[in-house]
Amino acid sequence: MAKIKKIPNDNISELLGGIDKKFIDNDDFLDIVQWNLRWFNSMDKDRAKKIEKVLSLLNSDIFVFQEIADGSLDDIAKSLSENGKGSYQVAYGTTGGQQRIAIMWDMEWVRTKDDIIELFGKNTVTTPNGKDVFPRLPLWSYFFCKSTISNRRGFDFQLVGLHLKSQMDKEGTNEDNLQRTLSAAKLSDWLIKEGNRFDSDIIILGDWNEPPDAEAWESLRNLEKNKNVKFTKINDKTNFSHLYYLNRNDVGSLLDLRVVTSPFAKEMNKTGGTIHWLALEELLSGSATAGEVKKIINEIKTEITDHLPVLTRFGVSKKH
């Protein structure tokens, strides 16, 4: 394996090799990072420490996580705060068992304006066969972000964290696809009918478990056609976020998606998107063998997670 070049102030493990410095937070942006941590709990101290190092480097204003055991991020939030990386607080969903949605935010830059709650309720939306469309209910929050310009007010926004039904159709009924289709329809309906009640921008993101061109998201593409949201334009399906290995040229797919109503999304395609580990990028862009690529992907999946973090970035200093 080629020696990985370090970036300045990189303090994450040799396994990952580093993160491109363009993804590291600065005061000109509101940064929101979404990340599925795959069955994360606080029992594996070594893994938790690796993840904490990544979060410390990214230093995002808000993190939205999936597959989180209740309370398992509390020690990480405390450690980040004690080490001067922010003043982080965590809220957890109540559904999903030990694979919950969680939101962690830096209170130095963003504050909640209402209680963080789950939308819709269990078994509110079901398939004809009685399957709950949302195995983990969407986690809704309402934030205020302060401006970096002293004489200007910040802005409000709503944030919804998702983890939609997985692609595990064991009985061959296509019920999992129907659940995702109905979940997108419900979210689209909520965006138009209820999301506007606070007169603020709306950001919906998380693990959708299908790529942006999937048939299940037709209702959202219709909203995009009517210029209600941005969806396909800010989710580049060629830029994978879920790691797997089929062959040297097929190592992932884009399952971690975003929907925004915000007019400030102009920055998203410039500096946002999937955050790739430099170690993996170097292998894929060079002459590494299939075995070398497969080895590092398996190590990353085992020691960190099988998803890459995805950054949604909004410029704040010039817009507000």
Q: What pLDDT, in 10s, does the model give residues 209-247?
A: 999 999 999 999 999 999 999 999 899 888 899 999 998
pLDDT at 106: 96
Q: What pLDDT, in 10s, does the model give residues 147-191?
A: 766 667 778 999 999 999 987 766 667 889 999 999 999 999 999
Name the H helices within the chain.
Answer: 45-58, 74-82, 175-193, 218-225, 268-271, 278-285, 290-303
Range 294-320 average pLDDT: 83
Which are the contacts of 84, defined by CB distance < 8 A and separation ≥ 6? none
DSSP β-bridge partners for residue 247: 250
pLDDT at 288: 83
The Cα–Cα gap between 56 and 193 comes to 38
- The CATH number fitting domain 21-315, selected from 3.50.50.60, 3.30.460.40, 3.60.10.10, 2.40.160.150: 3.60.10.10
Which tokens go with 115? 């209680």
Burial of 245 (0-12, 13-18, 19+ CB in 10 A): middle
* Distance (Å) of CA 39 to CA 98, 175, 280, 303: 7, 23, 22, 12
Q: What pLDDT, in 10s, does the model give residues 131-144?
A: 999 999 999 999 99
pLDDT at 19: 67
Q: What pLDDT, in 10s, does the model give residues 39-65?
A: 999 999 999 999 999 999 889 999 999
- Tell if the pTM clears 0.85, that is, is over it: yes
Residue with tokens 């090799």: 17
Question: b/e string for 134-160 if b means 16 or more Cβ within 10 A?
Answer: bbbbbbbbbbebbebeeeeebbebbbb
Which tokens go with 96? 């999903």
As a three-state string, the secondary structure of 245-307 is: EEECCEEEECCEEEEECCCCHHHHHHHCEECCEHHHHHHHHCCCCHHHHHHHHHHHHHHCCCE
Instruction: Sketch the domain layout of the chain as residue ranges.
Output: 21-315
The Cα–Cα gap between 72 and 254 comes to 26
Which tokens go with 183? 């979940």
